[in-house]
Amino acid sequence: MDTFVQQIINGLVLGSMYALVALGYTMVYGIISLINFAHGEILMVGAMVAWTVVTTMQGSGLPGWVLLIIALVCAIVVCSALNFAIEKVAYRPLRNAPRLAPLITAMGMSLLLQTLAMIVWKPNPKPFPPLLSQDPIFLWADGPVISVTQILILITTVVVLAFLLWLVNRTKLGRAMRATSENPRVAGLMGVQPDHIISATFVIGATLAAIAGLMWAANYGTVQHTMGFLPGLKAFTAAVFGGIGNLTGAMVGGVLLGLIEAVGAGYLGDLTGGVFGSQYSEIFAFLVLILVLTLRPSGLMGERVADRA
């Protein structure tokens, strides 16, 4: 039981980080039907910027939680500006092009950001300094443990999802986003400026990726220029799993994917005597993607679309 609960905790933490990135994917897709494969690299840039800020200010004597907030604000500003520029320079000129063109551009942008990060921050992995208490919190005596960082990750993810649902469903910006998603031309006739709404969506997605990047760095204690590729790919899987274009679906898909990966990898290692362990956890994400695309392409919470005659 202790092992099972520990894997559940690990899965919830991992799934929460996937969910934050998946929310960025699903918001952009919901507005302009674009899969922004450079989104994982925005997470990486956020983590690298946070690492730069933390290591620069570490000797200032400020408490860890203050450094965390400063690093988060800097990461959000840099990632938002970067994603805004990417949308304007790389995606906007291709908005009416065949769908393959923006997809290839997104992949190229992903490689470009990785290469630039390697030049700026060098290719070697860097340790991320611990900012919060590292003392384990036992759920019961000699039972499963959780850290302060992991608790913060879980709380932040819930708060972010609640804020996004309020933003999309209760605010003027949210109504404009839904109108643009439905029909940009008609929305423009009603006073909505689709270009501004799309840019705002990319900025919101970058904010989520920056938060996830800092969480990832704080939880695993290391950063490097390739760190965004697999989380980005798995977050896309989570978005498809939950129903891409659906905010709640992205959240559910991310959490479920994290649970499947953590529990599956943990018990697969036990069943095989350690031959297959956490190093094979990636197979679960992509098995889920194959099954979902085969059995329910619209995802768990996606709308079924009828074929038109």
Per-residue pLDDT tens over the stretch 233-251: 889 888 888 888 888 888 9
- Predicted structure pTM score: 0.90
Share of the chain above pLDDT 90, in %: 49
What is the per-residue pLDDT across 159-215, written as a single tens digit (0 to 9) for each?
Answer: 998 999 999 989 999 999 999 988 888 988 888 999 999 999 999 999 999 999 999
**Phi and psi dihedrals of 222, rounded to 5?**
-155, 150
Instruction: With H, G, I as helix, E, B as strand and everything else as coil, classify residue 137.
Output: strand
12 secondary structure, DSSP code: H
**What's the pLDDT band for 307 if we cut at 50, 70, 90?**
very low
State the average pLDDT for the chain: 87
pLDDT of residue 306 exceeding 90, the answer is no
* Angstrom distance (rounded) from CA 164 to CA 23: 9
Is the pLDDT reported for residue 11 higher than 70?
yes
Q: Name the least confident of 112-116, 124-128, 187-191.
A: 187-191
pLDDT, position 95 = 84
Instruction: Report the length, in residues, of the chain.
Output: 309
d(CA 19, CA 252): 7
End-to-end CA distance of the chain: 53
Q: Which of 138-142, 221-225, 240-244, 245-249 has maximum average pLDDT?
A: 221-225
The domains found in the chain, sorted by start residue, are 2-133+141-295 (1.10.3470)
pLDDT confidence bin for 265, thresholds 50/70/90: confident
- Banded pLDDT at 106 (limits 50, 70, 90): very high
In this model, does residue 132 exceed pLDDT 50? yes
